[in-house]
Structure 1
Amino acid sequence: MNFDDFDISDEVKKAIDEMGFEKTTPIQEMAIPLGLKGRDITAQAQTGSGKTIAFAVPVLEKIFIPDRSPQAIVLCPTRELCLQVAGEIAKVGKYIKKLKVLAVYGGQPIGKQTRVLKKGVHIVVGTPGRVIDHIQRGNLDLIGVESVILDEADEMLDMGFRDDIQTILKNTPLQRQTMLFSATMPTEIRKIAKNYQNNPKFIKVANKKENIPKITQHAFRTNHKYKFKDLTKLIEAYDIKSSLIFCNTKKGVDFVFKHLKKEGYSSEALHGDMSQKTRDRVMNKFRNGNVRFLVATDVAARGLDISNLDFIVNYDVAQNYDSHIHRIGRTARAGSSGFALTLVSKEDSANFNVIKRQSKGKIVEKDIPSDSELEEIKINRILDEVKNSIKVDNLKNDMDFIKKSLSADITSEEIAAALLKKLREK
């Protein structure tokens, strides 16, 4: 569908057109008409599916600008996602005169947010904890809220926000419209839908990454005792320059991060116990290419939009198929190709077997390379680079130096072999 097919204002259509969107994504095609009718929605959709616009359009169409009290609230798990969502909503509402959208989150002085709230805001995008804080301080009155959106709902529950979410929902009018978006649908999410939504329409959008053959998936059986060593072998065998490495626990993240550093690999850790300031610093270093490896839990990585990522490594197998797809979908973006490598220890076997079965042949099992095989891989990689240089580079001056160095007791083959040895030792 085109956005022109929807019964929406010219202001919103113009903004979406300027954002470069012509055709709708599946989640937008299904959710926008329902949202415009005021229906409650429970949608299973991944990051990158276009869900922000799917809920932004219905929300913006209901905003009454003269009323400068909050009319919609969007809850997100992290500061970064709050800023991303608030920015996207503001872009869609660019031509709605005097529209005010505010992101509220921890890590920023509360006074600044309070002053903006007091002046009047139409849409609030916030983390549950900071929203509760503003409610308790009397800065935020949700009595006029008509729309509540729970974005990345499963992640908010994983981060311990269930009580906060329920408190916020109880502070909003019963006749509100509630739209819930989640990458996975565990029992707790279904309970919230049952208790706080009115006859919601369930939507499930297949992750577009599921069907993209450009993600090459390899899995490697390993022993827990040698798992980290096998990780470093894969890094060398695949010549991985940069990667997001997933662990299931904060303890696992710290272990892999510390041992990578010890082995001389530039790396950083990212998990839920970190302050927002530390998270921002780590993410900036990774995005700017100042560190090669970012080791993270699913919770910490949710909502992060990282481009140009060729490799995803699952140090621990994901808990379920949806989480696995969500992880690997961070590579092969914008039409590029990518690799997803998964280490499978005995403890991971049950989850992996389920994921492999559901992947329908997309995961190919391979053996961890032996030390001798790894050495051969490295040598062949160097020789390939040498052969390519012979084809494309001007080597005249270099050849002149080699000829001058030749003597009766030193051959060109010996010089080449010695240079290869030096390169391997680097």
Structure 2
Amino acid sequence: MRFEELNLSTPLLEAVAQLDFTEMTEIQEKAIPLLLEGRDVIGKSNTGTGKTAAFSIPILEQMGQLPQEERRSVCALILCPTRELAMQACDEIRKFARFQKQVKPVAVYGGASMERQIYQLKNGANLVVGTPGRVLDHLRRRTLKLDNLKTIVLDEADEMLNMGFREDIESVLAQIPEERQTVLFSATMPPAILAITKQYQKEPVLVQIQSAHRTVDAIAQFSVSVPMGRKTDALQLLLLSKQPKSAMIFCNTKKMVDELTEALCLRGFSAAGLHGDMKQLQRTQVMNGFKSGRSTILIATDVAARGIDVKGVDAVFNYDLPQDHEYYIHRIGRTGRAGKTGAAYNILSGRKQEMEMREISRYTKADITEIPVPTSKELRSAAVAETRAKLLELAAAPASEEALTVAQELLAQTGSPEQLLAALIQQQLDDATKNLPAFDVPKPIRKGKRAGAKTVRVHINAGRKDRMAPNFILGALVEATGMAGNEFGKIDIHDQYTTVEVPETETDFVIDSMQNEKINGKSVAVRRYEERDNDYRGDSRGRGGRNGGQHRQSRHGYNQRARSGGYNRKRRKG
């Protein structure tokens, strides 16, 4: 559907045309007619689908039809989770309102001058875009009055709730007229969102666009598995191999953003970090640097990156997997926009993250291809090939008289064309490989003791007195973790506790998986084994005794069934 088909006022249609908006997106086509009718709407839509225009165009159209007296007060309020999103939404609204002089949009958010915002609010602002905390602050100061509010929009509502703004939002909603239009946009619909819609909206219409996984079809998705503690090394090798002109890297914590930014800068990359603890001036500088190309890598948390519109990102790297599957779609959706292809790389450590990656793949209905981490040898070979191609290309182009003269002089002085060319190639190679690491990331160990992997022992607080047997213990471990039986080593059952050898690289995963599990009807606790555990009183029979031998025999007999698939139900399900 085209914007021209809507019965919009001429100033608004002219602004839409100047912005090259012709065909409406799906969310716009479904939401705008309902909002123009004054209906309450719930929009389930991801970032980058055009929802800002979906709610701002009806607001501007309605404001243009109001009497002049009513336009002197605030007619519409849009709440956003972050400063960046509020600024971006306000800028977009200004573009749509460029031919409506009676509309005066203002953005209010924390980290900016309160005095300047008060001045703007007192001088005719009638459309306010802001973060919940700062809006509530202005309401308390009476510098913002919403007595004549016609429309309120909760944009990225799920993110506002995740950030702890629920009380602020409800405080704002309690101070606006009951007769108003309430619009809510959210990428997900958790129970808290549904509770808000039930309490504060009147007969809302749900507008839902097509399944989110379809929005990532143009993005090639990959994963690499590395040992614990080697993620930064793997990221460095991936960046050097793929050489994206611009890339975004996502971490789950502010601390990790700071640490990773420092690590990449020390390794020669042009990287900048972005998170919620930074002051507004710092955030603006970081974003301007990334948009202008001064920084080629932006490292961010989900909250800091929410609502930021950055075009032309070549690749997205998930240093940490997101805690919500919807966030994965938001993250990788930064690349592959406007009809272009993109790439997303996920760096995994341990079986738990590999299982999470499989869940994400099922949720998004996308193929996520596992690839090996590039090696230093491969990167050097690529640099040699690139240098060779570049020199052949240069040799095919005509040289200037000056360059030919210098070449002849150099040949006369060295007497060896090969030596001269080799020196030039060496310089090119040194420049191309100066940031190459002197290491390679080893492949993660996926098998247990039988494959020669290093193992450690875990302690289970159940033993002979609890009627434990090797088959019970191994069966519980296989069922909880999805690992094969032969990935576990020796099982030693003592009177009051049991130890099991597990692959060192999978220790944390095994312990996490066994939380709240039962073995032979007993709830058990699993932790790393410590030597002091030998001090249990009454446990005279230790490892290697007659009973220990029987346990190992039983344990291996059970392994035969585990290897045949009898006790590996979880892995077959996945």
TM-score of the pair, normalised by structure 2 = 0.69
The answer for the alignment partner of 1:169 in structure 2 is 173
> Contact 2:11–2:99 (CA<8 Å) still a contact in 1?
yes
SS of the equivalent of 1:225 reads coil
CA distance in 2, matches of 1:18, 1:425: 50
Could you tell me which residue of structure 2 aligns to residue 160 of structure 1?
164
RMSD of aligned residue pairs (Cα, Å): 2.5
* 2: CA distance, partners of 1:217 / 1:91: 35
What's the CA shift string for 1:249-298, capped at 9, x where partnerless?
11221221121122222222111111112111211222222222211001
Match of 1:349 among 345, 351, 354: 354
CA contact (8 A) 2:244 2:315 kept: yes
Comparing 352-361 and 298-307, the one that deviates more: 352-361
Q: Cα offset for 1:352?
A: 1.2
User: Following TM superposition, by how much is the alpha carbon of 1:53 offset from its aligned partner in structure 2, in angstroms?
Assistant: 1.3
Match of 1:385 among 380, 386, 390: 390
Change (3 A) 1:206 1:222: farther
Counterpart Cα distance in 2 of 1:362 and 1:234: 19
Q: Which residue of 2 aligns with 1:136?
A: 140
1:162-241 residue pairs with structure 2 within 5 A? Answer: 162-206=166-210, 210-211=214-215, 214-241=218-245
| 5+ residue gaps, structure 1 | none
Structure 1 residue 11 displacement after superposition: 2.8
Q: 1:367 aligned to 2:372?
A: yes
What does the per-residue CA deviation read over 1:31-89, in whole Å, with 9 as the maximum and x for residues that have no partner?
00111122221212222211111111221232223211112100112223222212222
What one-letter code is carried by the residue in structure 1 that aligns with 2:236? T
Shift of 1:197: 2.0
CA separation in 2, counterparts of 1:409 and 1:62? 81
- Is contact 1:247–1:296 with CA below 8 Å preserved after alignment? yes
* Distance apart, 1:327 and its partner CA: 1.3
Cα deviation for residue 153 of structure 1 reads: 1.8
Shifted more, 191-200 versus 322-331: the winner is 191-200
AA at the equivalent of 1:364: T
Give the structure with higher Rg (CA). 2
Rounded to whole Å, the distance in 2 between the matches of 1:44 and 1:107 is: 30
* 1:18 matches 2:18: yes
Contact in 2 for aligned 1:159/1:272 (Cα 8 Å): no
Deviation at 1:415, TM superposition (A): 4.2
SS in 2 for 1:224: coil
Q: Larger relative contact order (C-alpha < 8 A, sep ≥ 6)? A: 1
The equivalent of 1:61 in structure 2 is 61
Residues 1:203 and 1:112: Cα distance change in structure 2 (over 3 Å): same
Identity of aligned residues (%): 40
State whether residues 319 and 351 of structure 1, in contact with CA within 8 Å, keep that contact through their aligned partners in structure 2: no
User: Partner of 2:155 in structure 1?
Assistant: 151
Distance between the aligned counterparts of 1:148 and 1:14, measured in 2?
Answer: 25
Once residues 75 and 95 of structure 2 are traced to their aligned partners in structure 1, the CA distance between those partners, rounded to angstroms, is: 18
Paired residue secondary structure (1:334): coil
Structure 2 SS opposite 1:333:
coil
User: What is the aligned partner in structure 2 of residue 99 from structure 1?
Assistant: 103
The amino acid across from 2:370 in the alignment is E
Q: Which amino acid aligns with 2:80?
A: C
Structure 2: how far apart are the matches of 1:380 and 1:218? Answer: 25
- The alpha-carbon deviation at position 211 of structure 1 amounts to 4.7
Q: Does the C-alpha gap of structure 1 residues 301 and 110 become closer, same or farther in structure 2, counting only changes over 3 Å? A: same
**1:374 to 1:122, Cα distance in 2 relative to 1, 3 A:** same
Separation of aligned partners in 1, 2:124 and 2:406:
74
Change (3 A) 1:15 1:405: closer
Q: How many residues align?
A: 425
**Residue type at the aligned position of 2:48:** G
- Which of 404, 417, 424 is the aligned partner of 1:419? 424
**Secondary structure, in 3 states, of the residue corresponding to 1:178?**
strand
Q: Distance in 2 between matches of 1:259 and 1:18?
A: 44
Which secondary structure does the structure 2 equivalent of 1:180 belong to?
strand
Determine if contact 1:209/1:329 at 8 Å carries over to the other structure: no
Does 2:264 correspond to 1:260? yes
Q: How far 1:231 sits from its partner (Å)?
A: 0.4
Gaps of 5+ in 2: 432-574
